Amino acid sequence: MSRYTVVEKLLKGYRLNGARILFIESRIKRLAFNEEPERMGVSDGEVHETEEEYGRELRMKMSLQKELKSLRIVQEVTEDALNTLEQVDKRYKAIINDYYIEGCRMEDIAERMHISRSKCYELCREAAEMLSKVLAGEGEVYI
- Residue 100 within any structural domain of the chain: yes
- Residue 143 within any structural domain of the chain: no
- Residue 142 within any structural domain of the chain: no
- Residue 129 within any structural domain of the chain: yes
Q: What residues make up the domain containing 91? A: 3-39+49-136
Integer CA distances (angstroms), 27 to 31, 56, 102, 142, in order: 6, 14, 26, 43
In this predicted structure, the answer to whether residue 3 has a pLDDT above a threshold of 80 is no
Integer CA distances (angstroms), 46 to 32, 51, 78, in order: 16, 16, 48
Task: Count other C-beta atoms under 10 Å from residue 53's C-beta.
Answer: 14
8 band by pLDDT with thresholds 50, 70 and 90: confident
- Residue 44 within any structural domain of the chain: no
Task: Write down the pLDDT at residue 37.
Answer: 47
Task: Write down the pLDDT at residue 120.
Answer: 95
- Residue 59 within any structural domain of the chain: yes
Question: In three state form, how does the secondary structure of 13-34 look?
Answer: CHHHHHHHHHHHHHHHHHCCCC
- Residue 88 within any structural domain of the chain: yes
Q: How many structural domains comprise the chain?
A: 1
Q: What is the largest CA-CA distance in the chain?
A: 74
Question: Average of pLDDT values for 77-97?
Answer: 92
Integer CA distances (angstroms), 132 to 62, 90, 115, 136, in order: 32, 17, 24, 6
- Residue 102 within any structural domain of the chain: yes
Tell me which of 118 and 33 has the higher pLDDT.
Answer: 118
Region of poorest pLDDT, from 28-37, 40-49, 53-62, 68-77: 40-49
